[in-house]
Homo-oligomer: A and B are copies of this chain.
Amino acid sequence: MRGAGGPIGVFDSGIGGLTVYKALRDALPPAERLVYLGDTARVPYGTRSDATVVRYALEGGRFLARRGIKALVVACNTMSALALDELRAAMGRPVVGVIDPGVEAACRATKGGVIGVIGTAATVKSGAYPRAIARRRPEARVVARACPLFVPLAEEGWVDNEVTRATARVYLGDMRGAGIDTLVLGCTHYPLLKTVIGETVGPAVVLVDSAAATAAAARSLLADSGLLAPDGGDGGTAPGGAGDHFFVTDSSERFHEVGARFLGRRLGRLELVDLLE
């Protein structure tokens, strides 16, 4: 049994969403099948305009709908900030973004009520994080900062060198003085730079990576919707993830390599697709 109604879609602008895929694999019954879409031919989304992010989100969402997914996990902060309502309206099935779960984790973690948020230019400009925090803790103060260079640094593999430390000082130097005790890593790439980010803001600040919180939220929503496969299941001897399918819009070579680093194992089936076909 594979869970009612087809696989679960996981949609990211590129490769960073594999952190969310991994957390989902850990949180969901092995019988659940996942299909992952990374729009690697058009990544990054975080520097595009709102209208373009919404258009790309709907094109990817429709592609996954044609693959028969029963629910969608949007593993990209920029899309979650700018296109979640549009995706919900268009998909007609449960949709989970990364922002609300991350915000809930941050609101639980903060003691002093001063929360830092870092993300792409588009995510920060959208104001989605401060709005979501204000709904839960109206008294909290939010310090938000766009860190556009963190994505190319992570992609370059410079996760802990002189350049990355200097960049973190420029972006985050004044966060320390602002009195934050919690920092939301509001972009799927940023957990790769966790060491440098943590050193820069200091050991007293809790770093919130929304991947695990998002996976837990997705599990709850599937269960509440009667769509979750039974735990244990009867998926035979195959480990969870053996039947998963990965779609990318640009060449698969680099995705294979970086993906294996993210997951600690080889990816399963990987296929190059055109979203507009």
Instruction: Tell yes or no: A242 within 8 A of B by CB.
Output: no
Q: Closest CB of chain B to A45's CB: distance in Å? A: 10
Cβ distance A119 to chain B, nearest Cβ, rounded Å: 15
- How many chain-A residues does the 8 Å CB contact rule pick out? 27
Contact between chains at B49 and A250 (CB < 8 Å): yes
Q: Does A152 contact B (CB under 8 A)?
A: yes
Residues in B whose Cβ lies below 8 Å from that of A49: 250-251, 253
Q: Is the CB of A48 within 8 A of B41?
A: yes
| Bound complex: CA A23 to CA B158 (Å) | 35
User: What's the number of copies of this chain in the assembled complex?
Assistant: 2
Taken residue by residue from 122 to 159, chain A's Cβ proximity to chain B (1 for < 8 Å, 0 otherwise) reads as 00000000000000000000000000110111011010
Distance (Å) between the CB of A164 and the closest chain B CB?
9
Given A42-B41, A251-B52; A152-B161 close (CB under 8 Å): no
Residues 199-237 (chain A) with a chain B CB within 8 angstroms: none
Within 246-260 of A, Cβ neighbours of B (below 8 Å) are at 249-251, 253
**A166 located at the interface, meaning its Cβ lies under 8 Å from any Cβ of chain B in the complex:** yes
**A90: CB under 8 A from chain B?**
no
Q: Which A residues from 166 to 204 make CB contacts under 8 A with B?
A: 166-167, 170
State in angstroms the CA–CA spacing of A276 and B276 once bound together: 10
Q: Which of chain A's residues 107-127 have a Cβ closer than 8 Å to chain B? A: none
Contacts of A50 in B (CB 8 A): 251
Instruction: Enumerate A41-62 residues with CB–CB distance to B below 8 Å.
Output: 41-42, 47-52
Contact of A148 among B47, B51, B156 (CB under 8 A): B156
Q: Is the CB of A162 within 8 A of B166?
A: yes
**Complex Cα spacing A153 to B158, Å:** 14
Please, which residues of chain B bring their CB within 8 A of the CB of A4? none
Given A47-B155, A148-B156, 12 additional A-B pairs, CB 8 A: A41-B42, A48-B251, A49-B250, A49-B251, A49-B253, A50-B251, A51-B251, A52-B251, A149-B149, A149-B153, A149-B156, A162-B166
- List 7 A-B pairs, minimum CB-CB distance, nearest first: A49-B251, A152-B152, A163-B166, A52-B250, A162-B166, A163-B167, A41-B52
User: Could you list 13 A-B pairs, sorted by A, with CB under 8 Å?
Assistant: A41-B52, A42-B42, A48-B250, A49-B250, A49-B251, A51-B251, A52-B250, A148-B155, A148-B156, A149-B152, A161-B170, A163-B163, A166-B166
